[in-house]
Structure 1
């Protein structure tokens, strides 16, 4: 008998001893980080709401209780009973029953009303029908991404359960290593922006943190190293993704193409947005005649292996590592990843990308942890002169630019990432038109922006509280304002809209490397009455950086030998508004570290141009008396 089986036998006995004698336990097993208890008496479990909480506290594990099939009411009968129990204003739109696990997924407009006060309605459902309810939100804006992910996971439920059971056994295996140490190896994202990827190693475990691409070249991280795939794909025990942007997630499916079969930990909206961005990444590669590094099947494999976590949940991901995700304030679902290693041996936090101050979408990044010895810190705007314009001033400058362009008959074209920045800009423009500070005019949402916005409305609990309330109010949802128009008709539609008169265009990519923004430059680049407005960081080597630096002749097309290359003469004005960035500026980065509780002993400055990481490293050392480093790719740091 394996050590895991022995543990499960002991847990079965302990759980049975803790429960009242009238509640049976038919099986105890691991599914991912959770302990799953099967019982023939789910209704009795449900009538005592404190049982699960008390068990979880005593065993120090996340617990799910599921019924044996014999204890379940027939699904048709259960469906009618559930609809009787759940209040009408919950807006139940669908029910999905999973016989093999005894779970019923309830999709509703207002999940809170399905859950009830402290889960009272969920307990009532189980007590009435035996099924274990799981609640998901019906997207206020129809989202093909969310629907496709949910339908796929529904279809793969049995396979996913087997994956989770295998992962659970790996997490709870017996520790074999006799040594104790911690290492961080940089696979990408050092002295550069993008292709972020690190290996966090202990004597027992290897965890890959992020796996992105370089936005200028499309290159991925150095996965061939022995610390990564060079030792075999399944020498990696777990993957953690801080957020969905391609600079952090584009190469994740490559792991599954190379044979990785383990877990991916991230938040639920990051899981959905990763799928959206990765599939678009493949479509763009095909359109440009490039060979993509993986197929869409590998994107689905990554989704199937993803274990979503809530902010603040402490989760076992290996025998010697616990993971907690905290809000990073950068984009929807973005996280600071905190790792607690061993029994108090060492603590490491990876910032991912952070915004320390509040924005219209999000509260600022969390920097309060139980312990942190080493912080791996993004440095995108870490240069000594990288101070962004005040958010309010940036909003006023944007509305002035829009009003001026409107008066001239021109259009404001904004290259922007589809996830995060676009939604911030939508909120600014919606309020400005409502208050009359800019004239009413169409705002064209091109590429993935509409779909990404729909995903935002599916997860309002990840937004600021005031915005969350508006999104849940169908009459006040700002993302449904009449000014917003979806563009999905291709180049002919863009040409027609460009000729229609004043407007605002939000279009990927934010770095003008590819995507719909290139088409808009073809149609509006020669119009001196229009404006191209940059609102995010333009990494070296990108077309956006060259235009921002004053280049007026740019070559487009011909990528991968597809289509004819042409040179555009840009006559439209070019502006930069840096206050809308989802990244903290130099002051914000310093404040994040200065007010961090507890303060770290060491800081590794990463994810920034060479000047930015060295400036931030030097500043934190001289001004805050911290040991700092500005690693190069392929460097390894050993701690403890």
Structure 2
């Protein structure tokens, strides 16, 4: 490939954390890096229902950084509306998408049916954003590729996947357009993550598109395992329930690892632990198959998963709400946007002897963010539910690099001509931009939603 680059258009994650979608164009070809759902405030979620900004059939290929829905969750809608090119992803990401996307469709379908029955939708005939048939079509387009193995998309593009830490299969993308290289961080993992290895070095690039989820934040020095142990001991002594909303991919594994180590050290009592998320249960097999990609050995991985009872059926899920404490329930979703955790929140949220432990970023507009802001009632299934349980936030358990770790990672590469700061709330994105300019003396800016730049 010869000549200069093309253009980059920010179709998502430009004024918020979610909806990761970056369109790169060159010589008539189009590549979409990530195809995520917008989550959080209603005005953001409404973007999922709006027509895609360009004709999906005009996109030649999609490259996924990882499987979380804010990076992959719009794929079925894109395929439904005409996209039929390859979807490139790491093997781990492809396998996890085979679990997350069907689950997303199921929840969307279930939510539409519940809204129709309950009459709490403004639409007379509520319809899901996409369905299981759309997911099946999208999965047929999935094309797993190896890390560091260059891939061509016509004569205009070449790309490689670079390990990003964060979750199983997560990648950064190095996309070459002629003599220009654009580097996308995806979600950048932590150097000190207990489960996943650190992200690989930045290296050389002309343009860097970085996430900024924790761009104004430090994870601090508090050990999340110690804090979690203190909460479990106190709540268990009162006969309460520790409810841990957790992302089914990655976060559930980290929580189980901490609980396993606490149990082995005798730092928490031997109370029942349940994982109640069909998706999280399915993910277990994927993590076991890719044991070589973790920091921990097979023996500790087995101990971690043997610790908990995996809940599969709806009936067993309902029984947990009648069981009472002491016990620990780990259930999706991590931001309380849907899933079985909402039923547990209805059952156990009103009791002050229980605890709700939030373990990661809570996007604005989600129930998790509302709890952190001090809300004492939450709207769930069309009703207001009182929340009197303790609420804790273990932000130190996040799988994202914080601001200092992100800056330190950038030091592993050469100076790009521009850094575009994305995938963060406005305050976080601007704070990271300022640090990049002041500490690294690199040019940086926060792009606007829909903005198009030359690269």
* TM norm structure 2: 0.91
| 1:143-222 to 2 correspondences below 5 Å | 180-216=4-40, 217=42, 218-220=45-47
Cα distance in 2 for residues equivalent to 1:219 and 1:485: 37
Residue matched to 2:262: 432
Residue matched to 1:623: 439
Are 1:363 and 2:197 an aligned pair?
yes
How far is 1:202 from its partner? Answer: 1.5
| Equivalent of residue 633 in structure 1, options 444, 449, 453 | 449
Cα distance in 1 for residues equivalent to 2:152 and 2:202: 20
Secondary structure at 1:382 match in 2: coil
| Equivalent of residue 313 in structure 1, options 146, 149, 155 | 149
| Equivalent of residue 452 in structure 1, options 283, 291, 311 | 283
Q: Is the Cα–Cα contact under 8 Å of residues 180 and 202 in structure 1 kept in the other structure? A: no
| Equivalent of residue 84 in structure 2, options 248, 254, 261 | 261
How far is 1:556 from its partner? Answer: 0.9
Cα distance in 2 for residues equivalent to 1:219 and 1:309: 33
How far is 1:446 from its partner? Answer: 1.0
Are 1:336 and 2:164 an aligned pair?
no
Are 1:376 and 2:212 an aligned pair?
no
Q: Relative contact order: is structure 1 or structure 2 higher (C-alpha 8 Å, sep ≥ 6)?
A: 2
The structure carrying a bigger helix percent of its residues is 1
Residue matched to 1:614: 430
Secondary structure at 2:153 match in 1: strand
How far is 1:498 from its partner? Answer: 5.0
Residue matched to 1:291: 127
Secondary structure at 1:275 match in 2: helix
How far is 1:601 from its partner? Answer: 2.6
Are 1:575 and 2:392 an aligned pair?
yes
Are 1:248 and 2:88 an aligned pair?
no
Q: Is the Cα–Cα contact under 8 Å of residues 27 and 156 in structure 2 kept in the other structure? A: no
Q: CA RMSD in A?
A: 2.0
Cα distance in 1 for residues equivalent to 2:234 and 2:16: 36
How far is 1:491 from its partner? Answer: 6.4
Cα distance in 2 for residues equivalent to 1:215 and 1:617: 23
Q: Is the Cα–Cα contact under 8 Å of residues 491 and 519 in structure 1 kept in the other structure? A: no
Secondary structure at 2:430 match in 1: helix
Question: C-alpha offsets along residues 508-549 of structure 1, whole Å, 9 cap, x if unaligned?
Answer: 111112111111111111221111011111111111111111
Secondary structure at 2:135 match in 1: helix
Residue matched to 1:592: 409
Is there any run of 5+ residues in structure 1 with no aligned partner, and where? 1-174, 558-564
Query: Which of these two proteins has the greater Rg computed from alpha carbons?
Result: 1
Q: Is the Cα–Cα contact under 8 Å of residues 188 and 196 in structure 1 kept in the other structure? A: yes
Q: Which 10-residue stretch deviates more, 329-338 or 215-224?
A: 215-224
How far is 1:193 from its partner? Answer: 1.3
| 1:66-215 to 2 correspondences below 5 Å | 180-215=4-39
Residue matched to 2:303: 478
Residue matched to 1:414: 244
How far is 1:432 from its partner? Answer: 1.1
Cα distance in 1 for residues equivalent to 2:352 and 2:247: 25
Residue matched to 1:505: 329
How far is 1:315 from its partner? Answer: 1.8
- Count of residues in correspondence between the two structures: 437
Secondary structure at 1:412 match in 2: strand
Question: C-alpha offsets along residues 261-286 of structure 1, whole Å, 9 cap, x if unaligned?
Answer: 21111011211211211111111112
Secondary structure at 1:340 match in 2: strand
Cα distance in 2 for residues equivalent to 1:576 and 1:246: 22
Cα distance in 2 for residues equivalent to 1:413 and 1:584: 25
